[in-house]
């Protein structure tokens, strides 16, 4: 398992990888190195997932998932340096969103600005009951540029996304849940257990089926319903000749748990 300066990677259960953003003294704020580390981590997983079938993405400690961009590092940057750094963040977002392996964000505290955008790149979010969210970029003379204008809008709808982004106001986890941003709210002490439980459920399913279903949802939401249906059928047909499909039917008829191999 590769080493990253700002990330901790742990194979916490069979087929489950936990990726922890780990800049604890800085509230896990995202500096250039973290952008590079996340980009390389998720590009590597896309190229070769090995036996990983689900990823839990979280932050170190109990106070912050990720406090956003490291503004101390950004202080005094020239326009050119700022844009070069942002190119890294853009590639990071694409690596997260394009990862074929399902990603569950376990938001363990504040997810502000770029931190909120990282959480939005996951397939869905479980959050501690003390978590808070905000997209504060317009209060700093910029705007969300790591996917929030697209991912937040798809999660909560256009009008709510405009309210959140244009005001820059923070909001609590209950609001995030009511608005459709967060799937499940749990006590902070139970967050990792709950995130790992749903990850284990996903990892126990047929991995080709999970990846194809994820792709059909992610791609299809941006298509007309008719194009989405056609894409769904193509994704479905990929599974018909697999050993996992045959094993699934055999195990059902033999009244035993399936043993999926990803083939």
Decide: 119 and 96 in contact? Cβ < 8 Å. no
Catalytic-role residue among 80, 137, 234, 243: 137
Question: Rounded distance, CA 243 to CA 239, Å?
Answer: 9
137 is catalytic: yes
For residue 247, indicate whether it is catalytic.
no
Catalytic member of 90, 117, 194, 247: 117
CA–centroid distance for 23 within its chain: 18
Structure tokens at 104: 């569950």
Burial of 215 (0-12, 13-18, 19+ CB in 10 A): middle
Residues forming beta bridges with residue 13, ordered by sequence position: 16
Location of structure tokens 């299809």? 220
Q: Which residues are catalytic?
A: 117, 137
């Amino acid at each position: 398992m590769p080493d990253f300066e700002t990330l901790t990677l742990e194979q916490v259960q069979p087929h489950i990888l936990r990726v922890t953003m780990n800049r604890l003294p800085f509230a896990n704020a995202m500096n250039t190195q973290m952008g590079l580390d996340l980009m390389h981590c998720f590009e590597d997983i896309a190229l070769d997932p090995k036996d990983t079938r689900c990823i839990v993405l979280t932050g170190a400690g109990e106070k912050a998932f990720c406090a956003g961009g490291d503004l101390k590092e950004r202080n005094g940057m020239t326009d050119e340096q700022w844009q070069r750094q942002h190119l890294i963040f853009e590639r990071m977002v694409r690596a997260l969103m394009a990862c074929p392996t399902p990603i569950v964000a376990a938001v363990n505290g504040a997810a502000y600005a770029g931190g909120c955008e990282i959480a939005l790149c996951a397939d869905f979010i479980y959050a501690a009951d003390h978590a808070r969210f905000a997209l504060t970029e317009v209060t700093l003379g910029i705007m969300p540029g790591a996917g929030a204008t697209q991912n937040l809008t798809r999660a909560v709808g256009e009008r709510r996304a405009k309210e959140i982004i244009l005001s820059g106001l923070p909001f609590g986890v209950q609001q995030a849940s009511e608005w459709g941003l967060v799937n499940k709210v749990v006590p902070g002490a139970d967050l990792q257990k709950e995130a790992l439980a749903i990850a284990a459920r996903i990892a126990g399913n047929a991995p080709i089926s999970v990846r194809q279903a994820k792709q059909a949802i992610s791609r299809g939401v941006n298509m007309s319903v008719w194009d989405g249906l056609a894409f769904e059928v193509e994704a479905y047909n990929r599974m018909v000749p697999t050993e996992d499909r045959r094993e699934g039917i055999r195990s059902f008829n033999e009244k035993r748990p399936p043993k999926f191999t990803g083939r």
